[in-house]
Structure 1
Amino acid sequence: MSWIVSLPCTRDEAEALSGEVPELDALPEAPVIVTREIDEDMGLWQLDAYLDEKPGAALLELLQALIPSARRKKPQVEQLVEQDWVTLSQQGLEPVQAGRFFVHTSSYADRVPAGSVPFLIDASQAFGTGGHDTTAGCLAMLDRLARQGASPRNIADIGTGTGLLAFAAMHLWPRARTIASDIDPASIFVTRDNAAINGVPLGRSGGRLALAVAPGTDHPAIRHRAPYDLVIANILAGPLITLAPDIGAATAPGGNAILAGLIARQMEPVLAAYRAQGLRLAARGGSVEWPCLLFVKRRRYGYRRKERAFHRSNPADASFGSW
């Protein structure tokens, strides 16, 4: 059974927690910390700490000490009810082989092909089990990048769903710093569980996966780590276009962006949006109906123009995240 501790915080406090926190990292069983904005108009933020065991008084005091504005607030401690994320309509989900990766549910745990890299992702409330063409296309594109010799050191998975694409990137580049975000808190909870199942370590340092609840790139932890050598966004065409300035600014010159979630007839508007941000199309993968696009951000030489900020206080389309 899992537990969650919630405390109100300010945006500045959330940003301070986006880096390394030695007090938490030193704990034998450190909680997974997620900060999120709960009321944009009033500027209210919240810290959620996820634990496998009921928190003791010492941990509660430590969490409050990290948030000066909440010193007099009583932490909300809640036991999370076990939920069956697997729906009847998804129980028969077939495994997917994409590049070196083999993504399967529990029903196929004893049928992993020799030499493949398996991920156990049971069907859940979050999108991204691997069974959809867009997710499979992204896995194949990640595999292709690795075979071409790419070596990103800083990776962001925007709209992570189940965490699968972040897990795959971490397997390919185990020393990289990686962060996965989603607008849906349930997706981050699912990602946390899937990380434990697949042996993916959570944390803020290299080789560990950091988590954030965020609309697009609008989160202190995401901004704190930018720019990224590799950005992955498997969402929808509308949000991809809306986020083009933000993803473009978050991608380092010479870095890559893997975009998916669009259908073939939506490709031209997406291409135009990212070309306007200085990214060029380097490759197209995926299926005929569900393309997966690989972009490279052009390098700048000589005088460097000022970058625009890559977050928005009022995104035009807040529907991005898992679907």
Structure 2
Amino acid sequence: MNDVANAAQSWKVTLPCTRAEAEALDGDIAAFALMERPPVLMTSETAEDEAVWRLDAYFEGKPGAAAIKLLRSLVPSAAGAKPLVEALPDEDWVTMSQQGLDAVTAGCFHVRNIATDPALPGHVNLLIEAGRAFGTGQHETTAGCLAMLDRMRRVGMRFRNVADIGTGTGLLAFAALHLWRRAHAIASDIDPVAVEISADNARANGIALGDGPGRLALVTAAGADHAAIVGRAPYDLLIANILAGPLIELAPSLCALVEDGGTIVLAGLLNEQADAVLAAYRAQGMRLAERSDRGDWPTLRLRKRPSIGWKRPRRINRRARGEAPGFGSI
């Protein structure tokens, strides 16, 4: 489906909607998950009439007829209305569209997107300001991973070597280091801008960069295809919050990075994709230890079954590239 015709320009589509429709759009829209560049959706009351609401959808590139039709299906009350489709000036529209986002609380974590928002007492407060990279905590998959990590810590799980593949803004790696403060950690993303933003976010949240216990190493990599990622293996905790396609494609290389008895946390997939993702990881010796759903988005915790006898793996095969070109963070 040709959802976006021209990725060089940012565009906005506006449609009227009811308050009930606006409230129903709170959270992630499963239909957009299959798009290469899903839009950012914002709903608000109109200035002229507080009883009338509007939907603004921000696209990277001019939206095609299929994308506009999908938007219309989300707000049936706008069936007779003509959508306002306009090109935006050359500004950071992602930041602009996210300025009004509320803070997110998941488990022990409270994630703010605006520095002036108050911290929440009794929680681990993290600041991930809206910007060029995604993963601000608003996405159900990111919040689901935060809650999963918190539960793992509460039941006494301990980790010393952590990898976050497809890190986005670095948020999940920061969370892991807050829970397991002496762990070694590395985070990667296929997008060098995401790695740059993650470094800025690490400094803003007091996360030390570099090697060693309690520090975070950052690398640009497609999947697990980086010497630093392979060289630090095996991991006792690996996190991958990306998409179902690359999760399946990367299953052999990601599982090879994890030690016997180690844990993988997977997210970024839809309910209907969970069986296929699980099958790919079970084929690599993983078993499902826990599943937690937030709307249409499951978070999976897998554990690697121990091998027996001479077949027991000692280290990852360093010749395996572990690459999934074209895939990055969600």
TM-score under structure 1 length normalisation = 0.70
Matched, 1:102 2:96: no
Name which of 223, 236, 241 aligns with 2:248: 241
What's the offset of the Cα at 1:108? 5.1
Name which of 93, 97, 122 aligns with 1:89: 97
Alignment partners' CA distance in 2, 1:165 and 1:147: 17
Unaligned segments of structure 1, at least 5 residues: 1-82
C-alpha RMSD of matched pairs (Å)? 1.9
Tell me: CA distance 1:95–1:212, structure 2 relative to 1, closer, same or farther (3 Å).
same
Alignment partners' CA distance in 2, 1:314 and 1:175: 27
Greater relative contact order, per chain length (Cα 8 Å cut-off, separation 6+): 1
Residue 86 (structure 2) aligns with: none
Name which of 161, 165, 169 aligns with 2:172: 165
Amino acid at match of 2:195: I
- Which one has the largest radius of gyration? 2
Alignment partners' CA distance in 1, 2:183 and 2:321: 29
- The answer as to whether partners of 2:111 and 2:126 remain within 8 angstroms in 1 is yes
Tell me: CA distance 1:190–1:311, structure 2 relative to 1, closer, same or farther (3 Å).
farther
What's the offset of the Cα at 1:308? 6.5
Alignment partners' CA distance in 2, 1:92 and 1:157: 28
Tell me: CA distance 1:208–1:84, structure 2 relative to 1, closer, same or farther (3 Å).
farther
Tell me: CA distance 1:86–1:289, structure 2 relative to 1, closer, same or farther (3 Å).
closer
Q: Report the identity percentage.
A: 56
Residue 239 (structure 2) aligns with: 232
For residues 279-315 of structure 1, give each alpha carbon's deviation from its aligned partner in whole angstroms, at most 9, with x where no partner exists. 0000011413000000000112322345763775584
Which stretch shifts more, 303-312 or 189-198? Answer: 303-312
- The answer as to whether partners of 1:103 and 1:130 remain within 8 angstroms in 2 is yes
For residues 37-67 of structure 1, give each alpha carbon's deviation from its aligned partner in whole angstroms, at most 9, with x where no partner exists. xxxxxxxxxxxxxxxxxxxxxxxxxxxxxxx
What SS class does the counterpart of residue 106 from structure 1 fall into? coil
Name which of 298, 301, 305 aligns with 1:298: 305
Written as runs of structure 1 = structure 2, the 5 A alignment for 1:201-240 is 201-240=208-247
For residues 108-153 of structure 1, give each alpha carbon's deviation from its aligned partner in whole angstroms, at most 9, with x where no partner exists. 532x221011100011221211000000000000001101111110
- The answer as to whether partners of 1:246 and 1:311 remain within 8 angstroms in 2 is no
Written as runs of structure 1 = structure 2, the 5 A alignment for 1:134-283 is 134-283=141-290
- The answer as to whether partners of 2:162 and 2:186 remain within 8 angstroms in 1 is yes
Alignment partners' CA distance in 2, 1:311 and 1:208: 27
Alignment partners' CA distance in 1, 2:322 and 2:255: 18
Amino acid at match of 1:247: L
Tell me: CA distance 1:238–1:184, structure 2 relative to 1, closer, same or farther (3 Å).
same
Alignment partners' CA distance in 2, 1:290 and 1:311: 34
Alignment partners' CA distance in 1, 2:259 and 2:327: 22
What's the offset of the Cα at 1:261? 0.2
Alignment partners' CA distance in 1, 2:108 and 2:319: 34
- The answer as to whether partners of 2:186 and 2:229 remain within 8 angstroms in 1 is yes
- The answer as to whether partners of 1:133 and 1:286 remain within 8 angstroms in 2 is no
Amino acid at match of 1:92: G
Matched, 1:131 2:143: no
